[in-house]
Amino acid sequence: MDIQFQHGDGHTERVRKVSPVQTKRGAEQYERELRQSLLDGTHDKKEVIVPTCEEFSQEFMRTYVKTNNKPSECQTKAAVFRNHLNPAFGKLKLDEIRGQEIERFKARKLAEGMSPKTVNNCLTILRRMLSLAHEWDIINGVPHVKWLKVPEPDIDFLNFEEAARLVKAAEPGWDVMILTGLRTGLRHGELIGLRWEDIDLVAGRLMVRQSIVRGVIGTPKSGKKREVPLSPELREALKGHRHLRGDYVFCNPDGSYITKGETKWPLWRACRRAGLRRIGWHCLRHSFASHLVMKGVPLKAVQELMGHATIEMTMRYSHLSPDVKRDAVGVLDSAPEEVMLPGSTAPSTRAKTG
């Protein structure tokens, strides 16, 4: 945006500024305020017009979120602004959002019945937006956010016997999809996005390359593809499931991919027939990780198979390995070996070290 400004001595000066809010209304408002600052003689102070939360959230969604997030995440963030953040902070300028306003937001949302985890999720988005405004020199700092304590979530998984009953009780076709979830740990979107080209039945491996979430085809959640070996049982099941209806392994009769809603009832029917509680597809993923840990598979290997971004996420399953702590303490009783200390003619004992 260029503004021509004429001084009292007849000298004309051109000032070029970028509006902090990239909308027509925001740019016009910024131009009015900038012209006034030029008339007042304060433009040399490089005063920045601070937008409101509602104004800047549009810029944040359009330039930052859309560029750096998956479509499903964009939809989630847009809903958080629409339903929670803008109703609470929308009329405030960004530099007016301080600790007191944030604490009031937390208290109000908890009173409405929102879980601490969801409150923290909202505040994470707010803080990311304010941090971006700080990076762009729109505000001088970012208020401190005190996160709510969130209890460690319970991990719902099937034991080995329950998993076998569930597969046996499932309808033809769905039994293979359920078995795939139990033996690979794929997320629900990765399961419905699985294609035959992603499976090598000869080599016995599966490549996780894409995911379908809310009807949008994209990369897996981590953004990285990963390889999962096929167990012998799953390998044979997939061979028997091979069809020519389309590219997707699990699909509708016309070859199109199945939606999240279409997968819920077949799983619940299988649960009822097997005499199990109702579970969701993510329970199969939890079961995969839990079974690996219970069988003694190292957590690092479990992390890679699950596609977890950090080992901390995988550590949630560590308590399922009953031998970990016992084995850790047991190394103290390892047999010592005789060693010669430097400058000594008598042997000494020293415990073996790894």
- Residue 350, in any domain of the structure: no
Q: What percentage of residues in the chain have a pLDDT greater than 90? A: 64
- Residue 238, in any domain of the structure: yes
Mean pLDDT computed over every residue of the chain:
85
Same domain, 58 and 102: yes
Smallest CA-to-CA distance from 220 within 344, 282, 307, 278 is with 307
Same domain, 73 and 169: no
CATH of the domain at 189: 1.10.443.10
pLDDT in the model for residue 224: 87
- Residue 169, in any domain of the structure: yes
Lookup: tokens for 338: 């005789």
Same domain, 311 and 275: yes
pLDDT, greater one: 119 or 340: 119
Give the SS3 label for residue 346: coil
**99 in Cβ contact with 144 (< 8 Å):** yes
pLDDT confidence bin for 340, thresholds 50/70/90:
very low
Q: Helices in the chain by DSSP H: which ranges?
A: 24-40, 53-59, 66-68, 71-80, 86-89, 99-111, 116-135, 160-169, 174-184, 188-192, 232-241, 260-274, 281-294, 299-306, 311-314, 323-330
Mean of the pLDDT values across residues 41-56?
73
**CA angle, residues 99, 105, 107, in degrees to nearest 5:** 105
pTM of the model: 0.68
Q: What are phi and psi of 97, to 5 degrees?
A: -85, 100
pLDDT confidence bin for 349, thresholds 50/70/90:
very low
- Residue 153, in any domain of the structure: no
Indicate the burial class of 191 (C-beta count within 10 angstroms; 0-12, 13-18, 19 or more).
buried
Same domain, 164 and 281: yes
pLDDT in the model for residue 319: 79
- Residue 64, in any domain of the structure: yes
The pLDDT of residue 343 is above 80: no
- Residue 105, in any domain of the structure: yes
CATH of the domain at 106: 1.10.150
Same domain, 234 and 307: yes
Same domain, 123 and 207: no
Smallest CA-to-CA distance from 289 within 307, 269, 270, 274 is with 307
**33 in Cβ contact with 21 (< 8 Å):** no
- Residue 148, in any domain of the structure: no
Same domain, 237 and 103: no
Q: What is the pLDDT of residues 285-307, one digit of tens each?
A: 999 999 999 998 999 999 999 99
Same domain, 100 and 246: no
Q: What is the pLDDT of residues 111-163, one digit of tens each?
A: 999 999 999 999 999 999 999 999 998 998 999 999 999 887 788 999 999 99
Smallest CA-to-CA distance from 194 within 263, 258, 250, 264 is with 250
Residues 6+ apart with CB under 8 A from 242: 196
Amino acid at 250: F
Residues 6+ apart with CB under 8 A from 235: 201, 204
Same domain, 69 and 166: no
Number of domains in the chain: 3
* Boundary (domain end) residue, out of 135, 150, 178: 135
The radius of gyration of the chain's CA atoms, rounded to the nearest angstrom, is 29
**279 in Cβ contact with 226 (< 8 Å):** no
Mean of the pLDDT values across residues 259-283?
96
Same domain, 253 and 301: yes
Lookup: tokens for 9: 């001595």
The pLDDT of residue 323 is above 80: no
Same domain, 182 and 104: no
- HSE-CB at 89 with a 13 A cutoff on CA atoms is 31
Smallest CA-to-CA distance from 23 within 66, 61, 71 is with 61
Look up the domain containing 98 and give its range.
53-135
Same domain, 217 and 297: yes
Give the DSSP letter string of 62-74.
IIIIHHHS-HHHH
- Residue 142, in any domain of the structure: no
275 Rama sector, left if φ>0, alpha if ψ -120 to 50, beta otherwise: left
